[in-house]
Amino acid sequence: MKKILAIMLVLSMALGLAACGGQKAPEKTKLTLWCIATESDANRPAYEQAIKAYQEKHPDIEIEWSAFENESYKPKLKAAMSDPDSLPDIFFTWSGAFLGDFAAADAALCLDEYYKPYASQLPEVMLQNSTYDGKHYAVPLTMNIVTLFANMNLLGQVGWDHVPETYEDLTACCDALVAAGIIPFGCAGKETWCVTEYLEPIIEKTIGYEQMNEIFAGRATWNEKGIEDSVAVFQEMINKGYFDPAGAGLGNDEVKAKFISGGTAFYQNGSWNCGEVNDAGDYFQVALFPVMDASRATYGQVIGGPNDALAVSSHSKNKELAAQAAFELGRDICHYGYLAGSGLPAWTPDYDTKDVKPLVAAVAEMVKNSEGMVLFGDNAMSGDPANIYLDYVSKVYGGEIDGAGFVAGLAKDLQ
């Protein structure tokens, strides 16, 4: 035991020392970057290409980057905020309230003065989710919306050759699917954000995007008949057996895998899945959730927006360089990510887009023609309210409360 320990120690120390030596390269300015593009993330190649391109253009600057798993990245970043000096120069962030908290705590740098040179490529409207008190705090990468993926093979079995575009058609289609023993929808109950991907479009298509934005921002009350009705519609769909009951205890990976392998006919989730669904077969189509109340909403209204973004630490030693790098990297990550199908561009493409995957192109078209946008609820609200909101959504999915309970509870807890 002792010998083995001793050998292990000597070996490991030697290797450790060896790793420390040989680092005497010529002095370069070093910029650190944290992101969540881990080795198997769909965005990984986009980051790699973008960083390579940046290094070639700026040989005197070294980007030292590191990727962390999505869920554990949040505590990591929040712990780092407790001593802002330990933040990296550039860090990945979600827009909306997540970044808003950091902006309010002065940990993220205001990017207004660095934005100008890029204004022609990056429309200002794309910055709105990372703008607080009229100041811009992040560089958006990709944008995503909630889309309804459909397996046309399964729909074909019950006589549908297109994705239903009205609610009546959708129910008729679902009834036919259920009758044929096919499960219409898959939804991961273990991850509540997946439930919001179903509930939020129903709400939006009932009360319209303007009212929904007001409510998410806390300027209008949750106590609204339209939301109550939306919840009722959602729960009716669940009760009619449109949703896979197994989904209640599953994570999103399992639910998505089930959809792709033909286990469910529909899967409503973020458009970042386009690339993966597109590559799984040519019989998948993408659409939006139908309109519920035509007097208040239109088909082209979507849930989503630019969400993934890069922010710069206000404690960075090279603020200007870091800000410029954030813009240049953001532009290129967006470029390569779009071509790979892992998201839609927040930056205006100035390159050949004919190789974009068909499903991605279809969603890009939807975004271009969008008639209004609402950011994902759990991103629009800050930490505590967002979790209270998710809590109520999971209660709706679990059948604990009905529409009245949902609006009354949120009106009470979130005002």
Partner 1 sequence: MSKHDTRANAVRNTGKTAQVIIYIGLVLWMFINLFPVYWMFTFSLKNNEEIFGKNVVGLPQHWLWSNYTSAMNTGKMWRYFLNSTIVAVATILITLAVALMATFALTRMIWKQRKTMNKFFMLGLTIPIHASVVPVYVTLSRLNMLNTYWALIIPYAAFSLSMAILVCTGFMNEIPRELDESACIDGCNIWGIFFKIIVPLMKPAVATVGIYTFLQCWNELMFANIFISKNDLKTLPVGVQGLSGQYTTNWGPIGAALVMATFPTLFVYIFLSRKIQESFIAGAIKG
Partner 2 sequence: MKKVYSNKLHLIIFLLPALLLFCGVLIAPIGASFYYSLFDWSGFGAQKTFLGLSNYKELFTSDSINFMKALGNSLLLAALSVFLQLPLALGLALTLGKKIKGERAFLSVYFMPVLISTVVIGQLWLKIYNPDYGILNVFLRSIGLENLTRIWLGKKETALGAAFVPILWQYVGYHMLLLYAGVKSIPAELREAAMLDGASDGKVNRYIVLPYIKPILRISVIFAVTGSLKSFDLIYVLTNGGPLHATEVPSTLMISMLFLRNRYGMGSTIAVMLIVLCFAFALLISAIFREEG
Residues that bind partner 1 (CB under 8 A): 1-2, 4-5, 8-9, 12-13, 15-16, 19, 32, 34, 36-44, 64, 66-70, 72, 75-76, 79-80, 82-83, 85-86, 88, 253-254, 257-258, 261, 263, 272-273, 276, 342
The site partner of 272 among partner 1, partner 2, none (C-beta below 5 to 8 Å per kind) is partner 1
Asked if 315 interacts with partner 2 (CB under 8 A), we say no
Given the rule CB under 8 A, which of 2-10, 286-294, 322-330, 391-399 is the region that contacts partner 2? Answer: 391-399
The C-alpha atoms of residue 301 and residue 211 are separated, in whole angstroms, by 12
Neighbours of 159 (CB within 10 A): 9
Name the burial class of residue 100, with classes exposed (0-12), middle (13-18) and buried (19+) by CB atoms within 10 angstroms of its CB.
buried
The site partner of 104 among partner 2, partner 1, none (C-beta below 5 to 8 Å per kind) is partner 2
Nearer to partner 1, 73 or 234 (CB): 73
The site partner of 253 among partner 1, partner 2, none (C-beta below 5 to 8 Å per kind) is partner 1
Asked if 135 interacts with partner 2 (CB under 8 A), we say no
Asked if 413 interacts with partner 2 (CB under 8 A), we say yes
The site partner of 394 among partner 1, partner 2, none (C-beta below 5 to 8 Å per kind) is partner 2
Nearer to partner 1, 317 or 412 (CB): 317
SS3 per-residue string spanning 112-146:
HHHHHHHCCCCCHHHHHHHEECCEECCEECEEEEE
Nearer to partner 2, 247 or 337 (CB): 247
CA 249 to the chain's CA centroid: 22
Given the rule CB under 8 A, which of 57-65, 99-107, 234-242, 294-302 is the region that contacts partner 2? Answer: 99-107
Q: Cβ 212 to partner 2, closest distance in Å?
A: 23
Asked if 289 interacts with partner 2 (CB under 8 A), we say no
Asked if 117 interacts with partner 2 (CB under 8 A), we say no
Going by C-alpha positions, the residue among 304, 320, 236, 239 that lies closest to residue 269 is 304
Q: Which residue has the tokens 């050949």?
A: 352
Nearer to partner 2, 284 or 392 (CB): 392
The 259-278 contact track toward partner 2, x by CB under 8 A, reads ----x---------------
Instruction: Extract the tokens encoding 175.
Output: 């009834």
Strand pairing report for 29-35 and 373-374: unpaired
Instruction: Extract the tokens encoding 363.
Output: 């969603």
The b/e string for 48-81 (b: 16+ C-beta within 10 A; e otherwise) is ebbbebbeeebeebebebebbeeeebeeebeebb
The C-alpha atoms of residue 44 and residue 47 are separated, in whole angstroms, by 5
Which residues, 78 to 97, sit near partner 2 by CB under 8 A?
A: 78-79, 81-82, 84
The site partner of 44 among partner 2, partner 1, none (C-beta below 5 to 8 Å per kind) is partner 1
Instruction: Extract the tokens encoding 350.
Output: 């100035």
Neighbours of 259 (CB within 10 A): 27
SS3 per-residue string spanning 350-383:
CCCCCCCCHHHHHHHHHHHCCCCEECCHHHHCCH
Indicate which single residue of 28, 58, 74, 319 sits in contact with partner 2 (rule: CB under 8 A).
74
Q: Cβ 128 to partner 1, closest distance in Å?
A: 23
Distances (CA, A) of 147 to 47, 54, 273: 25, 33, 9
Cβ(272)–Cβ(142) below 8 Å: yes
Which residues, 164 to 193, sit near partner 2 by CB under 8 A?
A: 189-190, 192
Nearer to partner 1, 69 or 236 (CB): 69
Q: Which residue has the tokens 């881990």?
A: 38
The C-alpha atoms of residue 400 and residue 383 are separated, in whole angstroms, by 23
| Cα dihedral sign, 394-398-399-400 | negative
The residue ranges that bind partner 2 (CB under 8 A) are 74-75, 78-79, 81-82, 84, 101-102, 104-107, 189-190, 192, 245-251, 254, 258, 263, 382-384, 386-388, 391, 394-395, 398, 400, 413
